[in-house]
Amino acid sequence: MILGLGIDVTQVSRFSEAAERTPGLLDKIFTPGEHDTSMQRMAGRFAAKEAFAKALGAPTGLVWTDVEVRKDAEGKPYFSCSGTVAALVAERGIASIHLSITHDAGIAAAVVVCES
Based on the residue annotation, tell me whether 54 is a catalytic residue of this protein: yes
pLDDT digits (tens, 9 = 90+) for 49-100: 999 999 999 888 889 999 999 999 999 999 999 999 999 999 999 999 999 9
Residues of the chain with pLDDT > 90, as a percent, come to: 92
Q: State the catalytic residue, choosing from 35, 49, 71, 103.
A: 103
| Helix 39-55 with 12-21: angle, nearest 10 deg | 100
Based on the residue annotation, tell me whether 35 is a catalytic residue of this protein: no
Tell me the C-alpha distance between 12 and 95, whole Å.
Answer: 31
Tell me the C-alpha distance between 80 and 7, whole Å.
Answer: 18
Closest to 75 (Cα-Cα) out of 95, 102, 56? 102
Residues of the chain with pLDDT > 70, as a percent, come to: 100
Q: Is the pTM of this model over 0.75?
A: yes
Q: State the catalytic residue, choosing from 28, 35, 49, 54.
A: 54
**Residues pairing with 26 in the sheet:** none
Alpha carbon 53 to chain centroid distance? 8
pLDDT at 34 over 80: yes
For the chain, the domain total comes to 1
Alpha carbon 69 to chain centroid distance? 6
CATH of the domain at 72: 3.90.470.20
Domain assignment of residue 29, given as a range: 2-115
pLDDT mean over 31-52: 94
